[in-house]
Amino acid sequence: MTQIAIVYHSGFGHTDVIANDVARGVAEAGAHATLLRIEAGQTDFDAFFAAIAESDAIVFGSPTYMGTVSAPMKAFMDASAAVYFTKQWKDKLGAAFTVSGSPSGDKLNTLTTLAIFAAQHGMLWIGTGQNPGNNDDTSAATDVENRLGSFIGAMAQAANDSAEVTPKAGDRATGVSLGRRVAEAAARWKAGAREAVAAA
């Protein structure tokens, strides 16, 4: 079965919601998702690295704090230097999602930070693959997929309310779609690799 690791941090629960939506999309595509939630102050990521080693793709998730990834996510990224030189994650697929308080909130910087991180590990990047959701002047709807119009990764906005209220339905559907897309791409990538080995 195709294995997808979802590595994420959530300080107040909003990114938790999207992480679970991504996992739902993975399951819808017939793959298995492992949720790896980074805790504040965590320094030991050995169990995470073991789970990731068995995964075909890694989806990174972080709230946007001060215009970039949160400190716990950065702690995980820095700790990954331990596996960086072995190139264990090379040719795994990668994708990302982020949640912030403002509609923009400089979320793009969080996603590009995670895309560069994946590139440093030799991973292959998967974007949302969706059209922008709100592209005319009558639509400010919050139930539209990709309503924030992001392509490099899934964006969600949560108005600093309870995680039970936000992120909005459209952002949550965008998370599900990303999970599905990554799982489908990983299954194709895995099957292609098997064919290539058989043909060699």
Ligand X SMILES: Cc1cc2nc3c(=O)[nH]c(=O)nc-3n(C[C@H](O)[C@H](O)[C@H](O)COP(=O)(O)O)c2cc1C
**Residues binding ligand X (CB under 6 A):** 10-15, 63-67, 99-102, 105-106, 158, 160
Supply the minimum distance, in Å, between the C-beta of residue 122 and ligand X.
28
Residue with smallest beta-carbon separation from ligand X:
105
Q: How far is the CB of 115 from ligand X (least distance, A)?
A: 18
CB of 20 to ligand X, least distance (A): 12
C-beta of 80 vs 100, nearer to ligand X: 100
Nearer to ligand X, 31 or 156 (CB): 156
CB closer to ligand X out of 94 and 167: 167
Nearer to ligand X among residue 48 and residue 89 (C-beta): 48
Q: Cβ 51 to ligand X, closest distance in Å?
A: 21
**Other residues' Cβ atoms within 10 Å of the Cβ of residue 81:** 9
Closest CB 61 distance from ligand X, rounded Å: 8
Chain centroid to CA 118: 11
> Is 139 or 162 the residue whose CB approaches ligand X more closely?
162
